[in-house]
């Protein structure tokens, strides 16, 4: 059932626009000593306050920014180690009632080709993804009556029950329209991972201009969408802003205030923060010329500050960005990336000359999953398809208990090694296998003796054919 709840734009909000502007004004040209104090706080895994984040955003020397970048790298290593979690996006359908100025799926766009996957189509897409080695997906839907909570739940159930040889999808995250509490409960019952809603822009006037028609034009309904998810029992939620719609520093502050709101109301902050930039899309002039274009240097800065602002959260860097930039930004605190991605509806299972016309935007990084994994290995990252925390109940508040003190590394490194071994044994090219097995041996030497024997036992089980081994 599709529900569009009308609320006045003047409804209360937890985004204090005037306060954000004031902070960004009063913290200009910060004292380097103050910046370093803030970095020390973040490196102690404490979430930063608005004044502290605005101070970092206003750092005005190359030397200070190098210190900020260095701190972001150190913090990610402290909390998550050297693993990088991999996933792929799967677009289920691009029908949409909204008319978002920047989006290729907007209802007034006559150049986009509309398609919704049938159940048979969906199975083929999942089979294609699993056959490459994927274990984690984020499913994406337009905002349309076709994509009811029942429909979303059904498609996720199909994904979980589609097996190919040794492979399967073990975690499905969701990017869909905000739901009612009852709708979220239907989706939760099928066993989803994170429910993700991007506010796009936290600046109300810009939001109004960019969303002239459709359910998404309701700022407050979207802003409180994840509150309703939490009330429904979904304790892993993801926030994000689309950079390029408004001033990038304001949007970083908006993401911080959203984090604080969730912490204060539910005791749990966001499981992930995403920071996509606007990319070109078919028939979408605003996407070709974003009103507040974020250049590469600004992009690196905002990623580093977000890493430091919310130490416990997962940071998602998508294939919207070109490969060269992803290599750089990956070093600034990112913990999750997609790879081997295709965002045309139905484009994993067959070559489609019209793929661009079925896509929300144009991807910047078209490398295969194996290419991305091989490069990560060469840079001494552990590519991970781990889903153990979710299925062991380490989500929401329990995840925060582990992540904030940095205990996640104790679980994540062994489980990352297990899922990497599965990938190498079942899917990797010979060149990737050679590099990967060597990296596993090197990582084993870093593990304390108490845990090493258990990890070695797990690897032996995988080599004998057992799958989904967890630490």
Regarding beta strands 136-141 and 171-175, do their DSSP bridges make them parallel or antiparallel, or are they unpaired? Answer: parallel
- Residue written as token pair 């990296």: 439
- At 357, is the pLDDT very low, low, confident or very high (cuts 50, 70, 90)? confident
Domain ranges in the chain?
17-75, 84-388
In whole angstroms, give the CA distance from residue 101 to residue 278: 11
- Residue 394 is predicted with a pLDDT of 53
Contacts of 168 (CB under 8 A, 6+ apart): 130, 135, 160, 162
What's the average model confidence in pLDDT over 349-372? 90
- Residue written as token pair 């036992």: 457
Contact 443, 382 (CB under 8 A): yes
Please determine, for residue 90, whether its predicted confidence score (pLDDT) is greater than 50: yes
- Residue 389 is predicted with a pLDDT of 63
- Residue written as token pair 């499905």: 172
Using CB atoms within 10 Å of the CB of residue 176, give its burial: 0 to 12 exposed, 13 to 18 middle, 19+ buried.
buried
Nearest CA to 373 among 164, 88, 167, 128?
A: 88
Nearest CA to 420 among 441, 403, 406?
A: 441
Contact 386, 419 (CB under 8 A): yes
Residue 162 C-beta-side C-alpha neighbours within 13 Å: 25
pLDDT digits (tens, 9 = 90+) for 420-440: 999 999 999 999 999 999 999
SS3 273: strand
- Residue 262 is predicted with a pLDDT of 97
Contact 317, 138 (CB under 8 A): no
pTM of the model: 0.94
- At 2, is the pLDDT very low, low, confident or very high (cuts 50, 70, 90)? very low
pLDDT digits (tens, 9 = 90+) for 191-219: 999 999 999 999 999 999 999 999 999 99
pLDDT digits (tens, 9 = 90+) for 134-191: 999 999 999 999 999 999 999 999 999 999 999 999 999 999 999 999 999 999 999 9
Contact 279, 364 (CB under 8 A): yes
Contact 410, 468 (CB under 8 A): no
Is CATH 1.10.3720.10 the right assignment for the domain spanning 84-388?
Answer: no
| Torsion angle of the four alpha carbons 32, 334, 293, 22, in this order, in degrees rounded to the nearest 10 | -40
- Residue 5 is predicted with a pLDDT of 41
Contacts of 333 (CB under 8 A, 6+ apart): 72, 73, 75, 76, 303, 304, 306, 307, 308, 315
CA 57 to chain centre: 22
Nearest CA to 360 among 31, 111, 79?
A: 111
- At 471, is the pLDDT very low, low, confident or very high (cuts 50, 70, 90)? confident
Other residues' Cβ atoms within 10 Å of the Cβ of residue 131:
15
């Amino acid at each position: 059932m599709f529900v569009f709840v009308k609320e006045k734009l003047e409804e209360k909000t937890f985004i204090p626009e005037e306060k954000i502007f004031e902070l960004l004004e009063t913290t200009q040209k910060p004292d380097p000593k103050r910046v370093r104090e803030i970095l020390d706080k973040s490196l102690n895994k404490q979430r930063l306050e608005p004044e502290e984040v605005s101070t970092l955003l206003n750092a005005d020397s190359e030397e200070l920014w190098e210190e900020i970048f260095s701190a972001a790298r150190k913090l990610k290593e402290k909390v998550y180690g050297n693993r990088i979690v991999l996933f792929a996006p799967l677009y289920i359908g691009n029908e949409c009632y909204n008319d978002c100025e920047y989006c290729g799926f907007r209802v007034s766009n006559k150049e986009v080709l509309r398609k919704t996957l049938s159940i048979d189509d969906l199975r083929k897409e999942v089979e294609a993804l699993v056959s490459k080695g994927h274990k984690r997906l984020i499913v994406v839907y337009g905002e349309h009556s076709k994509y009811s909570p029942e429909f979303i739940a059904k498609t996720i159930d199909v994904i979980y029950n589609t097996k190919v040889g040794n492979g399967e999808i073990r975690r499905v995250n969701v990017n869909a329209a905000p739901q009612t509490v009852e709708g979220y409960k239907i989706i939760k019952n099928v066993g989803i991972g994170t429910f993700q809603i991007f506010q796009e822009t936290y600046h109300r006037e810009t939001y109004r201009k960019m969303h002239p028609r459709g359910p998404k034009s309701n700022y407050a309904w979207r802003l409180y969408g994840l509150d309703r998810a939490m009330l429904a029992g979904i304790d892993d939620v993801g926030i994000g802003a689309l950079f390029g719609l408004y001033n990038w520093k304001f949007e970083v502050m908006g993401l911080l205030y959203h984090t604080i709101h969730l912490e204060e109301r539910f005791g749990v902050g966001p499981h992930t923060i995403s920071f996509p930039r606007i990319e070109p899309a078919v028939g979408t002039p605003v996407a070709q010329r974003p009103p507040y274009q974020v250049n590469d240097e600004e992009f690196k800065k905002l990623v580093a500050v977000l890493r430091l602002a919310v130490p416990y959260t997962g940071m998602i860097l998508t294939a919207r960005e070109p490969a060269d930039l992803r290599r750089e930004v990956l070093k600034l605190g990112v913990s999750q990336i997609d790879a081997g991605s295709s965002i045309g509806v139905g484009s994993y299972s067959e070559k489609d000359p019209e793929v661009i016309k079925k896509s929300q935007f144009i991807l910047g990084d078209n490398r295969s999953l194996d290419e991305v994994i091989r490069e990560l290995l060469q840079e001494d990252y552990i590519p991970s398809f781990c889903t153990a925390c979710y299925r062991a109940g380490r989500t929401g508040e329990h995840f925060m208990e582990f992540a904030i003190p940095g205990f996640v590394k104790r679980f994540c490194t062994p489980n990352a090694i297990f899922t990497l071994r599965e990938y190498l044994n079942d899917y990797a090219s010979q060149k990737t296998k050679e590099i990967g097995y060597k990296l596993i041996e090197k990582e084993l030497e870093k593990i304390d003796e108490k845990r090493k024997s258990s990890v070695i036992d797990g690897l032996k089980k995988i080599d004998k054919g057992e799958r989904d081994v967890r630490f």
